[in-house]
Structure 1
């Protein structure tokens, strides 16, 4: 690590490759989540995913003798409830009551915006013309990307509006939690933060699921067999173990805004998988949208220029 830190170009390349891997993995979780939630209720799936991930993170910490204690226990609990419990609860409810395409546009376009705004309130992020331009470009690209997947938002009126409002609350909860988490990853190893956040978030989500969802023996059997198990396995090993640990590391290295730019890359991966794997349609404007989103990410994923002293 010291050798890498001594070479800024190498360190920046490592961060970029880690970011790219995270964005690809999280792009692939869309189809994995569909397989898992086709088998069992969504909040239950989210809770099981996080609890199982916490077991892997816990084993990792024990084998590597990573310190789990923290002097910021209250911050850790609040961050866990915001990033996982609040986000997943509102997000799944919102997606269930609104067109998936519109929900995706609202969620993904707001992640960089809210990360920047909440981060600025906490003194963790800066608002610059380049970042504002990137957010605007990315939002336009998202709209074009999902242009044929939005459905008819007016068909259910108020219910759709409430669903999208829930998605906004979920995104705010996520962005707020990411900012609250940043001091934690300065004090603790990212894997230790991941252990506590997945454990606390998973247990709280299961409690919500038991209160609000009907989880029968048939759903459990379906989740732990066939495509349900494949989907859950990738969510745990890829989405949580790889993706979330890399995200926490980038949160410390890059900040919430840059780390959150996966929101402009992962949908490109998800749509590409849908076209190749599921035979979904793909048109000119979607291709333009993908190009715009990648351009928006390239605009700010590079480090800010620092004048020579």
Structure 2
């Protein structure tokens, strides 16, 4: 699971060279959503009427808003830093979302986790601002890309907390399938509104290398990785399954450096350590 999720940032970056990023996110879930519903089988229709409006709202947060922001951000930021900001900040944003949505008490340990996580985010942003500490050949929107990834992750965590109220009443694959399918509709609409989508982009989805990137992110990221995560969640519990926050970003950084030649120096490493430390505090039992 860590290997798959650590490598999913790479195809997003590669595909962004050929198709608009939100369009690519829409293509992913247009395919993955129906496949998840098909995998759910007869359970695909087990959605209580009382849960439908919340299902719609959470799909907009967990899929449409999250992946529009994360894919756009990854298209403009180094994949390794995008992975650190995304995966390592999930425990931090989850604490804040739980407090805001459910009124969960914030202990001193949780306050320390949030503070350290925000410090790590600020440091990573600082490394990309004003020249990126001497790093050349940068995307001018790199800083905004990282901010977009952070905001997308916050949207995901907020939607995930709101999903807890309906999760017991809906089978897991059914919930994931409908959130992905509804989210795909939102992503298609958003892409058509703000991106210059052309017929050539549709053709690119089945051409090298975008077609291969799309196949990997659907099969490995949405189906295999998510299924493995559900198994781990069932057998290990949320704490041990959440340890991907330390492993997947390291894989993403290594893949970005080796495959794309992305820079990663001491400053980025220090910011990553701050984020990992915050995640460790937040995940601690």
TM-score (norm 1): 0.71
What does the per-residue CA deviation read over 1:158-199, in whole Å, with 9 as the maximum and x for residues that have no partner? x88877765554343222111111222222221111100000
- Structure 1 runs not aligned, ≥5 long: 1-20, 154-158, 305-309
- Structure 2 residue 185 is matched with structure 1 residue 185: no
Query: Where does 1:6-25 land on structure 2 (aligned, <5 Å)?
Result: 21=1, 23-25=2-4
Matched, 1:69 2:47: yes
Which residue is 1:202 aligned to? 184
| Separation of aligned partners in 1, 2:16 and 2:163 | 28
Q: Which position in structure 2 is the counterpart of 1:234?
A: 216
For 1:144-159, list aligned pairs within 5 A.
Answer: 152=131
RMSD between superposed Cα atoms in Å: 4.1
Structure with bigger gyration radius: 1
Task: Name the structure 2 match of 1:217.
Answer: 199
Per the alignment, in what secondary structure is the counterpart of residue 215 of structure 1? Answer: coil
Q: Helix, strand or coil for the counterpart of 1:45?
A: helix
Distance (Å, rounded) in 2 between the aligned partners of 1:69 and 1:218: 38
Which position in structure 2 is the counterpart of 1:128? 107
Return 143-152 or 118-127, whichever deviates more.
Answer: 143-152
Aligned pairs (5 A) from 1:71-150: 71-92=50-71, 111-123=90-102, 125-138=104-117
Contact 1:141–1:292 (8 Å) recurs in 2: yes
- Return the offset for 1:145: 7.0
Q: Within 5 A, what are the aligned runs for 1:254-293?
A: 262-287=244-269, 290=272, 293=275
Confirm or deny: 8 A CA contact 2:62 2:156 kept in the other structure.
Answer: yes
Please state how far the C-alpha of 1:134 moved relative to its aligned partner.
3.6
Task: Give the distance between the partners of 1:232 and 1:115, measured in 2 at CA.
Answer: 28
How far the C-alpha of 1:224 sits from its partner, in A, is: 1.2
CA contact (8 A) 1:101 1:150 kept: no
> 1:29, 1:239 within 8 Å by CA — same for their partners in 2?
yes
Aligned mates of 1:148, 1:65 — CA distance in 2: 48
C-alpha distance 58-124 of structure 1, shift in aligned 2 (>3 A): farther
> Contact between 1:146 and 1:286, CA under 8 Å: does it hold in 2?
no
Distance in 2 between residues matched to 1:163 and 1:188, nearest whole Å: 34
Partners of 1:119 and 1:281 lie apart in 2 by 35
Match of 1:301 in 2: 283
CA contact (8 A) 1:53 1:241 kept: yes
Instruction: Compute the displacement of 1:125 (Å).
Output: 4.5
Aligned pair in 2 of structure 1 residues 135, 234: CA closer, same or farther (>3 Å)?
A: farther
Q: How many residues align?
A: 278
Cα 1:121/1:136, change in 2 over 3 Å: closer
User: 2:148 & 2:263 partners in 1: Cα distance?
Assistant: 28
Equivalent residue of 2:102, what SS? coil
Distance 1:282 1:161 in 2: 15
Report Cα offsets for 1:17-62 as digits up to 9, x if no partner. xxxx2x4322211101112222211111111101100121022111
Deviations 1:101-137 (A, max 9, x none): 8877765665433321221233375423333334444
Worse overlay, 220-229 or 117-126: 117-126
SS in structure 1 of the partner of residue 166 of structure 2: helix
Tell me which residue corresponds to 2:11: 32
